[in-house]
Structure 1
Amino acid sequence: MKKLLFTLLALAPLALFAQTNTWKLDGTHSAVKFDVTHLVISSVEGRFNKFDGTLISAKPDFTDAQIAVSVDVNSVNTDDEKRDGHLKSADFFDAAKYPSMTFKSTSFKKVSGNKYVLEGDLTIKGVTKKAKFDVTYGGSVKDPWGNNRAGFKATTTINRFDYDLKWSAATETGGMVVDKIVNVTLTLEFVQGK
């Protein structure tokens, strides 16, 4: 019994100092995309070309992960300069006043297998609301240059009106030109720091 107690006491400090790993988002192998219904009959897709993020975790299954992502609103791209300009205006993102939107996780829970739920605070245009993403963990691998990489795909829907992105116009039949519900897809590849 004394030997067991001694072993537990000897190992306790190691548990307190479990190695925490910081992973950096690889922007060239990641994407921040959205799509929204247009005129009730089709959808418009877009993306943000500039973003950054980190993942901090000590567990190999990432269930203790702390995730933070920042997106440059001025990098919005829908393949139409006029529309992109409108999205940057005060009608939508007001990029001059709010140049970035951010997400900071509060929990990352494993549901089953490679399925997770990510929850946290999403801030757009100075408004912060709780957001929940369904996440598929693609796995981890060592690349040819010796870097550890982990991949995730996260999806959610948000109501743009909740974030003061309230521009709206009606069609002849009373439908909205741009729907208030926006689908968001994040394809994220993280590289472990050395």
Structure 2
Amino acid sequence: MTVAVLALQGAFIEHEQMLDRLGVAHIELRQATDLKQDFDGLILPGGESTTQSLLLHEQEMFEPLQKRIQDGMPVLATCAGMILLASAIEGQDAAHFATFPITVKRNAYGRQLGSFHTVSEVKGIGEVPMTFIRAPYVSEAAPDVKILAEVDGKIVGVRCGNQFAYAFHPELDQDTRIHELFLQTIANS
């Protein structure tokens, strides 16, 4: 099993370190030629979603990755990654990949000073540490979306098919279970 990590901008190194801890091979996606490598799943890290989308287009990686996601490739998206997958973004006319039938609110918890850490339940996993940094949340979800986690009445973890999206940064904490669930999904697909 090999996992590709989008490495254009954001917290991709932390995801790679988590995969290293779990003994999972990984590659970085930085340019279109990287897509020629074999990989079984994709991680879209936190960072700045608009910048990541712009770089995906500039590097001619946007459409090929969008097609792989639409075709069922397992994806783990955190923070900005959730925004990249969402089919709608509050206050914006356009979405990015638009493969996940959710509406997200960007910077829902305010600017950097609104960042926080908590522990809360993720369905199927149990209580996990959650670090929120300029995080979004899900304001609307289609009926086929499974709600995995909520904090203070806001949806912060969702699954639809092979796509997982979390508003927080599991890669910044020591708990590996969110990544393990993603890897199990890859193994089963």
TM-score, length basis structure 1: 0.25
Give the number of the structure whose residues are more often helix, by fraction: 2
Give the number of the structure whose residues are more often strand, by fraction: 1
Structure possessing the higher radius of gyration over alpha carbons: 1
